[in-house]
Amino acid sequence: MIKELIIDSSPNGATIALLQDKQLVELHKETVTNAYTVGDIYLGRIKKIMPSLNAAFVDVGYEKDAFLHYLDLGPQVQSLLKLTKQVRSGGYQSKLLDNLKLEADINKGGKISEVLSKNQLIPVQIAKEPISTKGPRLSADLSIAGRYVVLVPFSEVISISKKIKSNTERVRLRKIVESIKPKHFGVIIRTVSEGKGVTEMQKDLLDLITKWETLITKLPSVEPAKKILGEIDRTSTILRDILNSDFQSIYVNDNGMYEEVRSYVHEISPDLESIVRLHKHRDPIFEHYGVEKQIKSAFGKTVNLAGGAYLVIEHTEALHVIDVNSGNRTANKENQEENAFQVNKEAAREIARQLRLRDMGGIVVIDFIDMHKPTNRKELFDYLRAEMAHDRAKHTILPPSKFGLVQITRQRVRPEMNIVTNEVCPTCHGTGAIRPTVLLLDDIENNFNYILVEQNEKKITLCVHPYIEAYIKKGIYNRQMKWYFKYGQWIKVKSNPAYQITEFRFFSSKDEEIKL
């Protein structure tokens, strides 16, 4: 599988497209004004305790208070509160946790009112970005992610990714981390650390420790509801999490962004630095690499599949419904079951891609075409699970119900990617109504007064719909002749079948459009 990353940088931010075998599978938008990113750590102030929800609303500077549930406090929240109080009062001088006596874990079935109180300050981490009318979702169980490991304060546990199957490798990695991790810090060893040496692991862990020290340094002076420690930008996060030897190219269209990406890739994976390339072609980067066309075809209510089948995708606040239709696909009447199975497999592959591409979260219900053979239903379920295995978001897939529906729950940590593929009608400008055609020639002549009299343009050309051209040139003493006597110069009139009936444009003697 060949992967490519296309980064379209602009003054407002960057759009990042991930391609697998030239097919668009993920699209991310990073805006300059996006202040709340998953992983950011803020100094929150408790605004309200809600015993009925066993949760608290926390002020982190967002227009709506963020939500912090008891189960998201983390077992060592009392140690976090203790450290915060001591650091802000000047009673704790160390930047690590060596000199801190950890508190006992909180009761899993406890009440939030027993732990937190109104106006109390607590460092919190963004677990979900603001979605729809909801504020951010928070966690007080802090962690700082690196390329190979994740640093977890107030813990001694070393966890290893389940995707690392070799017992020998697991033991090796555990020994490396045990020898270098500081006291009262837990570590999660990520999948990409498999096969990495002591030097790489140690550098990554030391970088995370430096970030923690930065947090402790800022904690005494930071104002409530302000950011203490920011996650790296979306581009770097994607590179950190997915960059591997499968990547063939990373294309960037901006010099500044190119240098940043090249520097970051050199830092995390020097052997892949050469795949970062600057886009120098005249065409926009997304058009040049075929991304723009894929975006237009992949988003929208209806998604067409090869062979005539198609998907219909409907969205609500927390539920997405996907209907699979065979469309005009020709089916052998004697083998409808096989045809339904093939369409469903094709749909399953596209659905797995759509979930990643749109970053659809919550509950997804899929209505596949009915199949009668249990073996086919089982094979389709296994095929869908295999396709979804590439998805980095946590998800659960339930077997088909007796009605043939497949239900998926998928983690949602940021708003769904929504791109409007419909274009505004150039004639009605989206209103559904056009100006009266009887006034069309008056509009044209009003523009003549401006172009020929006020701007003193010479040898202009009027381009219109073929019907309008025929009307203007009809008869001996036609409109074109009247314009000649009125304005003292001959005005060329050309037709363009692509124009709408009321659309017209003016061009200069150099064949450049005259903007009005």
Give rounded-to-5 percent helix, strand, coil for the chain. Answer: 35, 25, 40
Strand partners, 26: 18
* Distance (Å, whole) CA 112 – CA 81: 14
Tens-place pLDDT, residues 337-362: 888 899 999 999 999 999 988 888 88
pLDDT for 256 equals 83
396 backbone φψ class: left, alpha, beta (φ>0; ψ -120 to 50):
beta
Q: In this structure, what token pair is assigned to residue 329?
A: 């696909």
pLDDT for 422 equals 60
163 backbone φψ class: left, alpha, beta (φ>0; ψ -120 to 50):
alpha
What are the C-alpha distances in Å from 192 to residues 68, 174, 209, 243, 313?
A: 31, 14, 19, 9, 34
Strand partners, 211: none
- Of 196-205, 245-254, 430-439, 499-508, which range is least confident? 430-439
Burial 450-485 (b: 16+ CB within 10 A, else e): ebbeeeebeebbbbbbeebbeebeeeeeebbeebee
* Distance (Å, whole) CA 23 – CA 6: 12
Q: Which of the pair, 363 or 131, is modelled with greater confidence?
A: 363
Query: Are the C-beta atoms of residues 408 and 395 closer than 8 Å to each other?
Result: yes
The string of DSSP letters for 463-498 reads EE-HHHHHHHH-SSS-HHHHHHHHHSS--EEEE-TT
Q: Is 252 exposed, middle or buried (0-12, 13-18, 19+ CB in 10 A)?
A: buried
- Cβ of 144: how many Cβ atoms within 10 Å? 23
Mean pLDDT of 78-103: 91
**Residue 421 pLDDT exceeds 70:** no
R_g over Cα of the chain? 30
Q: What is the DSSP letter of 451?
A: I
Tens-place pLDDT, residues 201-250: 998 899 899 999 999 999 999 999 899 988 766 677 777 777 777 788 99
Query: Are the C-beta atoms of residues 35 and 107 closer than 8 Å to each other?
Result: no
Q: How confident is the model at residue 497 (pLDDT cuts 50, 70, 90)?
A: confident
The string of DSSP letters for 231-290 reads PPPHHHHHHHHH-STTEEEEEES-HHHHHHHHHHHHHH-GGGGGGEEE---SS-HHHHTT
Query: Are the C-beta atoms of residues 208 and 151 closer than 8 Å to each other?
Result: yes
pLDDT for 306 equals 81
Tens-place pLDDT, residues 152-181: 999 999 999 998 999 999 999 999 999 999
* Distance (Å, whole) CA 251 – CA 258: 8
Query: Are the C-beta atoms of residues 52 and 120 closer than 8 Å to each other?
Result: no
Q: Which of the pair, 329 or 371, is modelled with greater confidence?
A: 371
**Residue 384 pLDDT exceeds 90:** yes
pLDDT for 234 equals 64
pLDDT for 329 equals 63
* Distance (Å, whole) CA 513 – CA 516: 9
Instruction: Map tokens 């002076």 to a residue.
Output: 221
pLDDT for 418 equals 66
Q: In this structure, what token pair is assigned to residue 37?
A: 């990113």
- For residue 357, the SS3 value is helix
Distance of CA 17 to the CA centre of its chain: 9
Can you say whether the dihedral through the CA atoms of 173, 175, 180, 181 is positive or negative?
positive
Q: What is the DSSP letter of 513?
A: B
4, amino acid identity: E
Q: How confident is the model at residue 282 (pLDDT cuts 50, 70, 90)?
A: confident
Helices (H), 147-244: 167-180, 198-218, 234-242
Q: How confident is the model at residue 454 (pLDDT cuts 50, 70, 90)?
A: confident
Query: Are the C-beta atoms of residues 327 and 309 closer than 8 Å to each other?
Result: yes
* Distance (Å, whole) CA 40 – CA 37: 6
Nearest to 153 by CA among 228, 250, 79: 79
Mean pLDDT of 423-448: 74
Residue 375 sits at φ, ψ, to 5 deg, of -65, -35
**Residue 330 pLDDT exceeds 60:** no
Helices (H), 40-138: 77-89
pLDDT for 402 equals 77
Per cent of the chain over pLDDT 90 is 46
pLDDT for 185 equals 95
Q: How confident is the model at residue 184 (pLDDT cuts 50, 70, 90)?
A: very high
Tens-place pLDDT, residues 7-64: 988 777 788 899 988 899 988 887 765 566 788 999 999 999 999 999 999 999 888 8
**Residue 263 pLDDT exceeds 60:** yes
Mean pLDDT of 73-90: 93
* Distance (Å, whole) CA 11 – CA 13: 6
**Residue 401 pLDDT exceeds 80:** yes
Mean pLDDT of 114-130: 92
pLDDT for 217 equals 92
Q: What is the mean pLDDT of the chain?
A: 87
Q: How confident is the model at residue 271 (pLDDT cuts 50, 70, 90)?
A: confident
Tens-place pLDDT, residues 232-245: 666 777 777 777 77
Per cent of the chain over pLDDT 70 is 92
* Distance (Å, whole) CA 506 – CA 513: 6
Nearest to 219 by CA among 101, 119, 127, 94: 94
Q: Is 413 exposed, middle or buried (0-12, 13-18, 19+ CB in 10 A)?
A: middle
pLDDT for 269 equals 82
**Residue 311 pLDDT exceeds 80:** yes
Q: In this structure, what token pair is assigned to residue 136?
A: 């951010």
**Residue 1 pLDDT exceeds 80:** no
Calculate helix-pair angle for 374-388, 336-358, nearest 10 degrees.
Answer: 20
Query: Are the C-beta atoms of residues 347 and 383 closer than 8 Å to each other?
Result: no
- Cβ of 31: how many Cβ atoms within 10 Å? 12
